[in-house]
Amino acid sequence: MEPISKNLDLLKLEERILEFWENEDIYSMIKTKENPDKIWRFIDGPPYTTGSIHLGTAWNKILKDYLIRYKRMQGFKVTDTPGYDTHGLPIEVQMEKELNIKNKQEILEYGVDKFITNCKEFAQRNLKIMNDQFKRLGSYFWNWENPYITFKNSYIEGIWWTLKRAWENDLLYQFYRPLNCCPRCATALAKHEHEYLNVKDTSIFVKFESAEDEKTFFIIWTTTPWTLVANSAIMVNPIAEYAKVYIKDLDEYWILSKNSITFFISGQLGYKYKIDRDYIGEDLEGMKYIHPLLDEVPYQKELAKKSEKMHSILLSEEYVSAGEGVGLVHTAPGHGPEDFDVGVKNGLPIFNPVKIDGLYNEKAGKFKNQFVFDANKEIIEILKEKGTLIDTDIVEHEYAHCWRCKSKLVYRATKQWFFKTESISEELLGQNEKIYWVPEWAGMKWFKSWLSSIKDWCISRQRFWGIPLSVWICNDKKCGDITVIGSAKELKKIAGECPEDLHRPWIDKITWKCEKCKKGTKTRIPDILDVWLDSGSVVWAAQEVYDGESHYDTWIPADFILEGKDQIRGWFNSLLCSAMVSSKRKNYDACYMHGWVMREGEKMSKSLGNFIEPEDLINGTLKDLQKKKSYSKIKGIETFRFYCIGATQPGRDLNFSAKEYADTYRVINTIWNLFVYANEKCRLANFNPSKHKYDIKKMDKTDKWLLSRLNTTIKKITNLSDTYILPSITETLRDFIVNDLSRWYVVLIRDKIEVYSDDSEKYPVLSLLYDVLFKVLLLLSPINPMLTEEIYHKMFKLNMKSMNLNETLSIHLQDWPKVEEKLIDEDIENQMIFIQELIEEARALKDEYRIRLRWPNKKIVIVTEEKVPEEEFQIIFKKTVNVKELEITKSFKSNEDYVKTDSKYGIIYLDKTVDEDILTERIISDLIRNIQFSRKINKFQAGENISLKIGANAPYLIKFIENSKDYISDKVSANEVIINNSNIKNDKIKIYEELKLCGNKDCSASLKDNILKKLDKESNIKCPHCNSELKINNIRTISFTYNKN
RNA sequence: GGGGAUGUAGAUCAGGGGGUUAAAGAUCAACGUUCUGAUAAAGCGUAGGCCGUGAGUUCGAAUCUCACCAUCCCUACCA
A608 CA, B50 C1': Å apart: 38
Contacts of A449 (CB under 8 A, 6+ apart): none
Q: Indicate if A858 and A962 belong to the same structural domain.
A: no
Question: Mapping DSSP to helix (H, G, I), strand (E, B) and coil, where does residue A806 land?
Answer: coil
Q: Which of A466, A510, A517 is nearest to A491 (CA)?
A: A510
Q: Indicate if A902 and A993 belong to the same structural domain.
A: no
Is residue A855 scored above 80 in pLDDT?
yes
What b/e sequence results for A268-282 when a residue is b if at least 16 CB atoms lie within 10 Å of its CB, and e otherwise? eeebebeeeeebebb
A445 CA, B66 C1': Å apart: 21
Q: Rounded to 5 degrees, what are φ and ψ at A1025?
A: -100, -40
| A843 occurs within a structural domain | yes
Residues A900-936 have pLDDT tens digits of 877 666 788 888 888 888 888 888 888 888 888 888 7
State the Cα torsion A944-A946-A952-A957 to the nearest 10°.
50
Q: Indicate if A907 and A920 belong to the same structural domain.
A: no
Q: Which nucleotide is nearest to A854 (CA to C1')?
A: B35
User: In A 853-872, which Cβ lie closer than 7 Å to strand B?
Assistant: 853-855
Q: Which nucleotide is nearest to A845 (CA to C1')?
A: B45
A825 CA, B12 C1': Å apart: 34
Instruction: Tally the domains of chain A.
Output: 4
| A140 occurs within a structural domain | yes
Q: What is the CA angle A383-A384-A385, rounded to 5?
A: 90
Q: Which nucleotide is nearest to A840 (CA to C1')?
A: B44
Contacts of A760 (CB under 8 A, 6+ apart): none
Number of C-beta neighbours around residue A146 at 10 A: 11
**A411 CB contact with strand B at below 7 Å:** no
As a whole number of angstroms, the distance between CA A261 and CA A270 comes to: 11
Q: Rounded to 5 degrees, what are φ and ψ at A254?
A: -115, 140
CATH of the domain at A78: 3.40.50.620
Q: Which of A432, A450, A447, A434 is nearest to A651 (CA)?
A: A447
pLDDT value of position A787: 94
Is residue A979 scored above 80 in pLDDT?
yes
A833 CA, B49 C1': Å apart: 26
| A700 occurs within a structural domain | no
What residue spans of A43-103 are helical by DSSP H? 55-73, 89-99
A904 CA, B58 C1': Å apart: 29
| A17 occurs within a structural domain | no
A639 CA, B13 C1': Å apart: 19
Sheet holding A906-911, edge to edge: A883-889, A857-863, A906-911, A898-903
Domain enclosing residue A847, as ranges: 828-911
DSSP state of A365: G
Q: Indicate if A920 and A868 belong to the same structural domain.
A: no
As a whole number of angstroms, the distance between CA A591 and CA A572 comes to: 8
DSSP state of A819: P
A335 CA, B1 C1': Å apart: 21
A439 CA, B15 C1': Å apart: 17
Which of the given ranges, A243-247, A277-281, A515-519, A809-813, has the highest pLDDT on average? Answer: A809-813
A445 CA, B24 C1': Å apart: 30
Q: Indicate if A150 and A112 belong to the same structural domain.
A: yes
DSSP letters for A834-850: HHHHHHHHHHHHHHHTT
Is residue A567 scored above 80 in pLDDT?
yes
**A936 CB contact with strand B at below 7 Å:** yes
In angstroms and rounded to an integer, the radius of gyration of the C-alpha atoms of chain A is 40
pLDDT value of position A610: 65
Nearest residue (Cα to C1') for B43? A743
Cβ A203 vs Cβ A392: under 8 Å = yes
Of A594, A615, A633, the position where a domain reaches its end is A594
Q: Which nucleotide is nearest to A973 (CA to C1')?
A: B37
Is residue A857 scored above 80 in pLDDT?
yes
Q: Indicate if A933 and A976 belong to the same structural domain.
A: yes
A1009 CA, B32 C1': Å apart: 17
pLDDT value of position A322: 65
| A40 occurs within a structural domain | yes
State the Cα torsion A598-A599-A604-A609 to the nearest 10°.
180
| A502 occurs within a structural domain | no
Residues A467-482 have pLDDT tens digits of 999 999 999 989 999 9
Is residue A15 scored above 90 in pLDDT?
yes
- Average pLDDT of chain A is 87
Q: What is the mean pLDDT of residues A612-625?
A: 82
Residues A652-699 have pLDDT tens digits of 888 887 777 888 888 888 899 899 989 988 988 889 988 888 888 988
Q: Indicate if A843 and A976 belong to the same structural domain.
A: no
Q: Please tell me which residue, A41 or A264, carries the higher pLDDT value.
A: A41
**A663 CB contact with strand B at below 7 Å:** yes
Q: Indicate if A558 and A583 belong to the same structural domain.
A: yes
Cβ A182 vs Cβ A96: under 8 Å = no
pLDDT value of position A908: 84
pLDDT value of position A627: 67
Is residue A185 scored above 90 in pLDDT?
no
Nucleotides of B under 7 A from a protein CB: 2-6, 11-15, 21-23, 27-28, 32-46, 71-79
**A879 CB contact with strand B at below 7 Å:** no
Cβ A226 vs Cβ A379: under 8 Å = yes
A780 CA, B30 C1': Å apart: 33
Is residue A608 scored above 70 in pLDDT?
no
Kindly state the percentage of chain A with pLDDT values over 90. Answer: 40
Cβ A817 vs Cβ A714: under 8 Å = yes
A907 CA, B61 C1': Å apart: 32
Q: Indicate if A71 and A142 belong to the same structural domain.
A: yes
As a whole number of angstroms, the distance between CA A391 and CA A384 comes to: 9
Q: Which nucleotide is nearest to A450 (CA to C1')?
A: B75
| A285 occurs within a structural domain | yes
Position A769, amino acid: L
Q: Indicate if A88 and A151 belong to the same structural domain.
A: yes
A975 CA, B19 C1': Å apart: 65
Q: Please tell me which residue, A885 or A647, carries the higher pLDDT value.
A: A885
User: In A 227-266, which Cβ lie closer than 7 Å to strand B?
Assistant: 227, 235
**A1024 CB contact with strand B at below 7 Å:** yes
Q: Which nucleotide is nearest to A669 (CA to C1')?
A: B41
Q: Please tell me which residue, A1034 or A1019, carries the higher pLDDT value.
A: A1034
**A225 CB contact with strand B at below 7 Å:** no
Cβ A692 vs Cβ A764: under 8 Å = yes
Q: Which nucleotide is nearest to A338 (CA to C1')?
A: B77
Residues A195-251 have pLDDT tens digits of 877 777 888 899 999 999 999 999 998 888 999 999 999 998 888 889 999 999 999
Report in angstroms the alpha-carbon separations of A405 from A101, A163, A182, A1035: 13, 28, 9, 81
Q: Indicate if A325 and A365 belong to the same structural domain.
A: yes
Residues A345-391 have pLDDT tens digits of 888 898 999 998 899 999 999 999 999 999 999 999 999 999 999 98
| A234 occurs within a structural domain | yes
Is residue A323 scored above 70 in pLDDT?
no
Q: Indicate if A61 and A125 belong to the same structural domain.
A: yes
Contacts of A61 (CB under 8 A, 6+ apart): A53, A134, A137, A139
As a whole number of angstroms, the distance between CA A347 and CA A344 comes to: 5
Position A992, amino acid: Y
User: In A 288-327, which Cβ lie closer than 7 Å to strand B?
Assistant: 318-321, 324-325, 327
User: In A 714-743, which Cβ lie closer than 7 Å to strand B?
Assistant: 738, 742-743
As a whole number of angstroms, the distance between CA A154 and CA A163 comes to: 15
ipTM tops the 0.85 cut: no
CATH of the domain at A264: 3.90.740.10
Nearest residue (Cα to C1') for B74? A446
Q: Which of A457, A498, A465 is nearest to A582 (CA)?
A: A457
Of A847, A882, A911, the position where a domain reaches its end is A911
A999 CA, B14 C1': Å apart: 50
Confidence class of residue A550 from pLDDT cuts 50, 70 and 90?
A: low
As a whole number of angstroms, the distance between CA A1012 and CA A1010 comes to: 5
User: In A 673-702, which Cβ lie closer than 7 Å to strand B?
Assistant: 673-674, 676-677, 680
Of A896, A911, A926, the position where a domain reaches its end is A911
**A525 CB contact with strand B at below 7 Å:** no
pLDDT value of position A473: 96
**A1013 CB contact with strand B at below 7 Å:** no
CATH of the domain at A859: 3.30.2320
Report in angstroms the alpha-carbon separations of A926 from A41, A849, A884, A969: 62, 18, 18, 14
